[in-house]
Amino acid sequence: MHARNCWEYKKCGRQPGGNKVAQFGLCPATIDDGADGLNRGRFAGRICWAVSGTFCGGEIQGTFAEKHATCTNCDFFSLVCQEENIEMFKLLKPGQIFKPVF
Ligand code: SF4
């Protein structure tokens, strides 16, 4: 199975061509070129927690620091941790800045 992006896993419909785009707009995680390929994802689809202003849960989420508690308790976040075998995600403390490891 290919590495699923958050919008495929959450079925949020906020990716290009998604069924919620007309109502809520595109989620920034689905068009973030700078994150393309991180954790084997398309755009920021597998690092959405590091993108400000995502739409998870139907609300605009803030910066990483603001959405830290939500994201680190997210089942997709845990899934990416496991699939990418990245231990460091579990060590982040509130307000700590995430630095991607290549
Ligand atoms: S961050 Fe959330 S709202 Fe945005 S594309 Fe991913 S699952 Fe959908």
Position with higher pLDDT, 94 vs 14: 14
Check residue 56 and give its pLDDT.
78
Separation of alpha carbons 85 and 30, rounded Å: 23
Indicate the domain borders of the chain.
Answer: 6-101
Residue 91 alpha carbon to ligand 1 centre in Å = 23
The reply to whether ligand 1 has any atom less than 6 angstroms from the CB of 49 is no
Give yes or no for residue 71 CB within 6 A of ligand 1.
Answer: no
Q: Is 55 touching ligand 1 by the criterion CB < 6 Å?
A: yes
CA distances from 61 to 46, 53, 54, 64, 71 (A): 16, 5, 5, 8, 10
Give the confidence band of 34 by pLDDT, cuts at 50, 70, 90. very high
29 lines ligand 1 (CB under 6 A): yes
pTM here is 0.78
Q: Is the Cβ–Cβ distance between 23 and 13 less than 8 Å?
A: no
Count, residues in the chain: 102
pLDDT band at 77 (very low <50, low <70, confident <90, very high): very high
How far apart are alpha carbons 90 and 87 in whole angstroms?
A: 6
- The pLDDT of residue 97 is 56
